[in-house]
Amino acid sequence: MGFSKDFFWGAASASHQIEGAYLEDGKTLNIWDAFVEGHVARGDDGKVACDHYHRYKEDVALMKKIGLKSYRFSISWARIFPDDSGKINEKGLQFYKNLVNELIEAGIKPMCTLYHWDMPMWVFEKGGWEKEENIPYFVRYAEACVKELSDKIEYWLTFNEPEAFISAGYESGEHAPFLQLSGERVKAITRNVMLAHGRAVLAMRKAAARPIKIGTAHAACVTSPANETPEEIEKARVSTFETDRPYFCSWWADPVFLGKRQAGTNYLSDEDLKIIHQPLDFYAFNMYNADGYGAPKNQSNPRSYPGYPLTAMDWPITPECLYWGARFCYERYGLPIMITENGMANLDFIMLDGEVHDPQRIDYVHRHLLGLKRAADEGVPVIGYQYWSIMDNFEWALGYSRRFGLIYVDYPTQRRILKDSALFYAEVIKTNGENL
């Protein structure tokens, strides 16, 4: 059976991680711009990043060369609404209109994420996600983007990885705004983000120029079974959806997709759930590896052994994750599955021959796609795979030290080089996965 004919073979990025132009054409500061100092490896920041704001045409041309069918990017809220006046910054909007036109001309379907962690400072100064009163600002932004761009963009995602930006931004303090808040305050943030998602979905449907598809890209965790006996599979399924693990799969997905409050979100009221639980069109998730049950909470891989394969992020390589993730999440949530992120950081550099050879990434993608293909073969409606990331970029607190891209970025010159993995992926796309 394999991948469907119209499968979205794509790659992903996020505004703050690639655009640069941090104060150009009316954009104001976001929380990463404002608080970066002293928080990021080697003092890196997102001021220039990959300079994609100025080089988007070159970047889209490279995407076309790879043969991408889709490209998932995010919009910088502070470019569209640089202040609280409610007036759209036309120049900021024009950038995204140009990008989308360029993509469409190249035969690439744009997919848009509204919030990939770069909250405008003016919203943060009003209390950010801690204040329910700020939700309308997000709804207005979502509405404006959809109104202006839905004639060309069909696929939309409200949030990227709420699990990650809430826990890293407001609990452990590793990500902007680098706070360590009390449990009660984090709960308020969680509730507000969930409500913002629900309210935005309602507004987006109304504002759309045509029927659009809406999802939300969460960081799903999956437990893979030790072997494939029914008992082990059931243990893994139960562990995947354990509800008392904050930030694990069902923490976000049960309220959003099932309208169900559970142990991790028992502070949501019935009224809240009615807003949060809006019908969505597909189930999108980002996944880089699997857990194994029996692991102490927060320890990701109990089956590891000395020398276990790791990426340059120190993340275990567990290629079965996409199979079990797609299968379990489809069983529970019943929607077509889209992988909105999967990929690896590798120790890439330009080699003597001037090329970037990255066999580890080729192997990583190959193995993970085999897992996804297995899910498709068994009847899970898998509609897309967006490799993270289209190009090397600003990896948040780790700055430019980690490279996830299919395209190598030489930051001092901004030269781009297609890595070997990009050429491999091009072949996967060309054969619709038949070469795997």
Residue positions annotated with a catalytic role: 161, 341
Task: Assess 44 for contact with ligand IFM (CB under 6 A).
Answer: no
Interface positions, 12-31, toward ligand IFM (CB under 6 A): 14, 17
Nearest to 124 by CA among 197, 193, 77, 177: 177
User: Nearer Cβ to ligand IFM, position 268 or 372?
Assistant: 372
Least separation, in Å, of the C-beta of 85 and ligand IFM?
A: 29
- Please return the burial class of 80, using the count of CB atoms within 10 Å of its CB with bins 0-12, 13-18 and 19+: buried
Least separation, in Å, of the C-beta of 32 and ligand IFM?
A: 11
Residue 228: partners with Cβ closer than 8 Å, 6 or more residues away: none
User: Nearer Cβ to ligand IFM, position 120 or 433?
Assistant: 120
> Which residue type does 412 have?
P
User: Nearer Cβ to ligand IFM, position 268 or 290?
Assistant: 290
Task: Assess 286 for contact with ligand IFM (CB under 6 A).
Answer: yes
Residue 385: partners with Cβ closer than 8 Å, 6 or more residues away: 7, 8, 9, 10, 338, 339, 342, 369, 372
User: Nearer Cβ to ligand IFM, position 14 or 62?
Assistant: 14
Site track 383-412 with ligand IFM (rule: CB under 6 A), x = hit: -----x------x-----------------
User: Nearer Cβ to ligand IFM, position 144 or 391?
Assistant: 391
The only residue of 33, 51, 59, 161 in contact with ligand IFM, by rule CB under 6 A: 161
Interface positions, 341-370, toward ligand IFM (CB under 6 A): 341
Least separation, in Å, of the C-beta of 112 and ligand IFM?
A: 15
CA terminus-to-terminus distance, the chain: 13
* Structure tokens given for 287: 């996944």
Exposed e or buried b per residue across 273-295, where buried means at least 16 C-beta atoms within 10 angstroms of its C-beta: bebbbbebbbbbbbbbbbbbbee
User: Nearer Cβ to ligand IFM, position 18 or 63?
Assistant: 18
User: Nearer Cβ to ligand IFM, position 19 or 143?
Assistant: 19
Site track 307-346 with ligand IFM (rule: CB under 6 A), x = hit: ----------------------------------x-----
User: Nearer Cβ to ligand IFM, position 135 or 220?
Assistant: 220
Least separation, in Å, of the C-beta of 402 and ligand IFM?
A: 8
CA angle 11, 342, 130 (to 5 degrees): 95
Task: Assess 74 for contact with ligand IFM (CB under 6 A).
Answer: no
* Contact footprint for ligand IFM (CB under 6 A): 14, 17, 161, 286, 341, 388, 395
